[in-house]
Amino acid sequence: MIDNIYNPEYVKTLFDKMSQSYERMNYITSFGFSIRWRKQFLKNIEKSSEKIKIIDLLSGMGETWGPTMKRFPNAELTALDFSEGMLNYATKKNTKYFKSNIHILHQDILKNQLPKNHFDIVICSFGLKTFNEEQLIILANVVEQILKPGGQFSFIEVSKPKNKLLQKLYGLYLGKIIPILGRILLGNPEEYKMLWKYTLQFENSNKAFEIFKSSGLKTTYQIYFFGCASGFNGRKQISINH
């Protein structure tokens, strides 16, 4: 039964409903750390002022665009998401702050039309938890296909900390307090209860890390703030033809 929450149509509807308050809630749910974590997970990729191609998967409202363009000022940035609600806000942000220079794609990453060997960098923040194992395998294969040989990637996700006290406090905050805030902002706490359910099921990025490593990508594991977030980064290997 729990696997139904990974149905792409269910996930899409959930984020459409949350889109009006998600950016504020993301900041609140991470105690403001989401902004810091976005900067940190980008630091796993070498800084560049070259005219490189970057894609931000599961881009949401474009919360990662600011720090991305600061670190890669001459990059051509593409953003992909399948939630119309999220992309409506992202489009407004693109117009207001980025002179509509960001190329926004309304696509499901699991059924995408992205070109192969095209991007220098793939990034994704706080989208992994809504995938089951089978979907993570598809995602890893997509990243391997769309990256140029030698291209880099970095992923981050909110996680369940291993420290018992921190786990209890985090669980209370995300499982009880956040739904109350969801009621105040949305009139309905159920959508934000689901974020905690996803986090509990996901636990941390370790399984995704192993899947990405198995897909042939050179991958390194990373934890942030005592395990309250975790992720991985690495490169697509360059094959040598003899």
Spatial separation of the C-alpha atoms in residues 189 and 21, rounded to whole Å: 12
pLDDT tens digit string along 198-241?
988 999 999 999 999 999 999 999 999 888 899 999 999 987 65
60-64, 66-70, 119-123, 183-187: which has the minimum mean pLDDT? 183-187
194 — pLDDT class (breaks 50, 70, 90): confident
- For residue 1, pLDDT beyond 60: no
8-state DSSP, 176:
I
Considering only 1-15, 188-202, 208-222, which range has the smallest mean pLDDT? 188-202
Question: What pLDDT does 28 receive?
Answer: 64
**Environment class of 218 (CB within 10 Å of its CB; exposed 0-12, middle 13-18, buried 19+):** middle
| Average pLDDT score over the chain | 89
Domain ranges of the chain: 30-161+203-236
**Interatomic CA distance for residues 159 and 204, integer angstroms:** 5
Mean pLDDT of 20-41: 75
CA atoms within 13 A on the CB side of 8: 12
pLDDT at 170: 72
pTM score: 0.91
- For the cut 50, the answer to whether the pLDDT of residue 71 exceeds it is yes
User: Is the pLDDT assigned to residue 69 strictly greater than 80?
Assistant: yes
Dist CA 223 CA 159 (whole Å) = 9
Is 30-161+203-236 assigned to CATH 3.40.50.150?
A: yes
Q: How many residues does the chain have?
A: 242
The mean pLDDT of 159-180, rounded to a whole number, is 76
pLDDT at site 161: 84
Of 100, 96, 103, the residue nearest 81 (C-alpha):
103
What token pair was written down for 65? Answer: 């665009």
**pLDDT confidence bin for 187, thresholds 50/70/90:** low
Look at residue 163 in the predicted model and tell me its pLDDT: 82
SS3 152: strand
Taking residues 58-69, report their average pLDDT.
95
Contact between residue 35 and residue 73 where contact means Cβ atoms under 8 Å apart = no
Q: Which pLDDT belongs to residue 21?
A: 72
Q: How far apart are CA 130 and CA 138, in angstroms?
A: 13
Q: Where are the beta strands (DSSP E) in 100-160?
A: 103-106, 119-125, 147-158
What is residue 115's DSSP assignment? P
Q: Residue 220: enclosing H or E segment and its boundaries?
A: strand 217-224
- Does residue 123 contact residue 90 with C-beta atoms inside 8 Å? no
pLDDT level of residue 242 (50, 70, 90 thresholds): very low
Q: Is 128 left (phi over 0), alpha (psi -120 to 50) or beta?
A: alpha
Mean pLDDT for 167-190 is 70
Q: What six digits make up the tokens of 92?
A: 């407004």
What is the CB-side half-sphere exposure of residue 136 using CA atoms within 13 A? 19
